[in-house]
């Protein structure tokens, strides 16, 4: 049966795709998390450009008996889409982090990442995953890389919708008042921070989010 094509819009541009992306039907875009700061305060963003983040790391103090209370949520937002998109597949998070401790005391941290569809009023989580738990028991700062897959619910983004990555730091401590610090790095330029130092340690100071798009073929 042939459907009469009375309505047929023509593309205004010729799109070129990578062969392997066409074979899989998805194209992955890498976004980098970064912080910017103006006269009002700081905000967290995503971009596919390698900007210099205003702060290379964000630090959270770990106090005793904090009992894995979530710290402030960090919302890394992409600017609203100008054309409709459909996200499908498995995203990947890669981020340099560090955990500083005190001698004879304990500090723990883990991170939860939510990938969110945000239409300006309602947040809908389309994928989530949680890192392993890191522990510090000495007066040293130990950097690590968080590398997590996040299975996504197939989701359409309309014009103006925002892709948001919400990062939550969960911390806990046992000991005296201040038992350590949690660091999350977010510098697209991969510069050295105070705790996450790519030039000397086997770590990155980037926050990368690999997002698979359903190719509009």
Binding positions for another protein, rule: CB under 8 A: 3-9, 11, 83-84, 86, 156, 158-160, 216
- Name which of 174 and 215 has its Cβ closer to another protein: 215
Q: Are 172 and 68 in contact (CB under 8 A)?
A: yes
Q: From the CB of 10, what's the least distance to another protein, in Å?
A: 10
- Name which of 156 and 194 has its Cβ closer to another protein: 156
Q: From the CB of 212, what's the least distance to another protein, in Å?
A: 15
Q: From the CB of 49, what's the least distance to another protein, in Å?
A: 25
Give one DSSP letter per residue of 119-148, joined into a string: -SS-EEEEEEEEPPPEEE-SS-EEEEEEEE
- Name which of 8 and 20 has its Cβ closer to another protein: 8
Cα separation of the two ends of the chain: 22
Tell me the residue ranges of DSSP E strands in 55-161.
57-63, 69-70, 74-77, 85-100, 106-118, 123-130, 134-136, 141-157
- Name which of 1 and 40 has its Cβ closer to another protein: 1
Question: Which residues lie across from 187 on neighbouring strands?
Answer: none
Q: From the CB of 3, what's the least distance to another protein, in Å?
A: 5
């Amino acid at each position: 049966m042939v459907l009469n094509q009375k309505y047929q819009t023509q593309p205004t541009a010729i799109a070129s795709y990578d062969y392997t992306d066409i074979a899989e039907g998805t194209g992955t875009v890498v976004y980098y998390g970064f912080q910017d700061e103006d006269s009002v305060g700081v905000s967290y963003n995503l971009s596919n450009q390698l900007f210099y983040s205003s702060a290379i790391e964000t630090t959270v103090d770990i106090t005793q008996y904090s009992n894995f209370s979530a710290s402030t949520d960090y919302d890394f937002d992409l600017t609203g889409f100008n054309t409709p998109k459909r996200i499908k597949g498995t995203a990947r998070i890669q981020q340099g982090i560090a955990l500083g401790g005190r001698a004879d005391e304990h500090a723990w941290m883990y991170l939860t990442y939510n990938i969110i569809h945000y239409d300006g009023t309602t947040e809908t989580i389309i994928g989530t995953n949680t890192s392993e738990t890191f522990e510090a028991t000495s007066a040293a700062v130990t950097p690590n890389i968080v590398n997590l897959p996040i299975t996504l619910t197939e989701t359409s983004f309309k014009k103006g919708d925002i892709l948001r990555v919400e990062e939550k730091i969960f911390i806990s401590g046992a000991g005296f008042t201040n038992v350590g610090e949690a660091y999350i790095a977010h510098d697209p330029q991969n510069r050295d921070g105070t705790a996450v130092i790519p030039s000397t340690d086997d770590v990155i100071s980037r926050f990368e989010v690999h997002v698979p798009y359903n190719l509009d073929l």
